[in-house]
């Protein structure tokens, strides 16, 4: 019988409200420019929600420049014209031993372009981060957000996160189950599907660029 994470993943392939499924892919060095473009397009309100303050462009440039793909994991969702519309950063840090006896804990930050909201992109990025933690034997996932961020609070609650509110900030954490064959397979399948989708869209974009006459 199929294990729950795999069943959930298969169900998740059905897009929200009859839309195309949302496929989440691990990003790497070649995506750094796309990541920067996505984050720079966030308006000041979204920057406040994502980073906890209205960070200027220079700080976003420095943040993206410093992402270490060897240590952290970055997930993305691209739209049909190969624009990055969803970005999730899963950062690992040594545990202080308060909530877990594992060596590391993870913290997740996410943003979705305003044009792609309400289609399940944020939820799928969060689910992918959680399953990645599960398969990496990390059992505690943190997320910091403002209590006014109702959308994110909804996603966190839906995922079963415990939320502690203090001075307008919410510290949410999720206790994650140990890995299982189903969770490993669900993540591997998603990555393969997403890689095919990403490659097809990247090639289509390159072909359009190639065949579009340049303006003189």
Residues of the shown chain interacting with ligand COA in the complex, contacts defined by CB under 6 A? 46, 49-50, 109-112, 117-123, 143, 145, 149-152, 154-155, 158
Residue nearer to ligand COA on the CB measure, 52 or 97: 52
Give the residue at shortest CB distance from ligand COA: 122
| Edge-to-edge strand ranges of the sheet holding 73-78 | 25-26, 73-78, 84-94, 104-112, 140-146, 169-175, 162-166
Residue nearer to ligand COA on the CB measure, 73 or 121: 121
Asked if 93 and 140 touch (Cβ cutoff 8 Å), the reply is no
Nearest distance in Å: CB 39, ligand COA? 10
Among residues 136, 130, 135, 131, which one has the least CA distance to residue 172?
130
The structure tokens listed for 16 are 């929200």
Asked if 31 and 71 touch (Cβ cutoff 8 Å), the reply is no
Residue nearer to ligand COA on the CB measure, 164 or 215: 164
Among residues 11, 67, 15, 17, which one has the least CA distance to residue 39?
67
Residue nearer to ligand COA on the CB measure, 4 or 115: 115
Nearest distance in Å: CB 147, ligand COA? 12
Nearest distance in Å: CB 41, ligand COA? 11
Query: Which residues, in sequence order, are bridge partners of residue 112?
Result: 86
Nearest distance in Å: CB 193, ligand COA? 18
Residue nearer to ligand COA on the CB measure, 25 or 50: 50
Nearest distance in Å: CB 181, ligand COA? 27
Asked if 135 and 184 touch (Cβ cutoff 8 Å), the reply is yes
Residue nearer to ligand COA on the CB measure, 15 or 179: 15
C-beta neighbour count of 136 within 10 angstroms = 17
Nearest distance in Å: CB 125, ligand COA? 7
């Amino acid at each position: 019988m199929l294990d729950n994470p795999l069943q959930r993943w298969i169900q998740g392939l059905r897009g929200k409200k009859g839309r195309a499924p949302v496929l989440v892919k691990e990003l790497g060095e070649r995506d750094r420019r796309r990541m920067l473009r996505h984050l720079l397009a966030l308006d000041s309100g979204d920057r406040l929600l994502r980073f906890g303050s209205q960070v200027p462009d220079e700080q976003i440039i420095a943040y993206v420049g410093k992402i270490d793909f060897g240590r952290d994991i970055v997930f993305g969702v691209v739209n049909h014209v190969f624009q990055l519309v969803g970005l999730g950063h899963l950062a690992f840090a040594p545990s202080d031993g308060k909530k877990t006896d594992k060596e590391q804990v993870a913290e997740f930050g996410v943003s979705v372009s305003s044009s792609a909201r309400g289609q399940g992109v944020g939820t799928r990025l969060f689910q992918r981060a959680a399953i990645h933690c599960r398969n990496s034997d990390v059992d505690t996932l943190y997320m910091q957000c403002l209590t006014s961020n109702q959308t994110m609070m909804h996603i966190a609650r839906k995922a079963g996160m415990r939320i502690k509110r203090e001075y307008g900030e919410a510290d949410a954490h999720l206790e994650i189950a140990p890995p299982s064959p189903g969770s490993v397979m669900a993540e591997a399948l998603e990555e393969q599907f997403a890689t095919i989708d990403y490659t097809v869209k990247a090639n289509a974009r390159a072909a359009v660029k190639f065949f579009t006459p340049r303006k003189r």
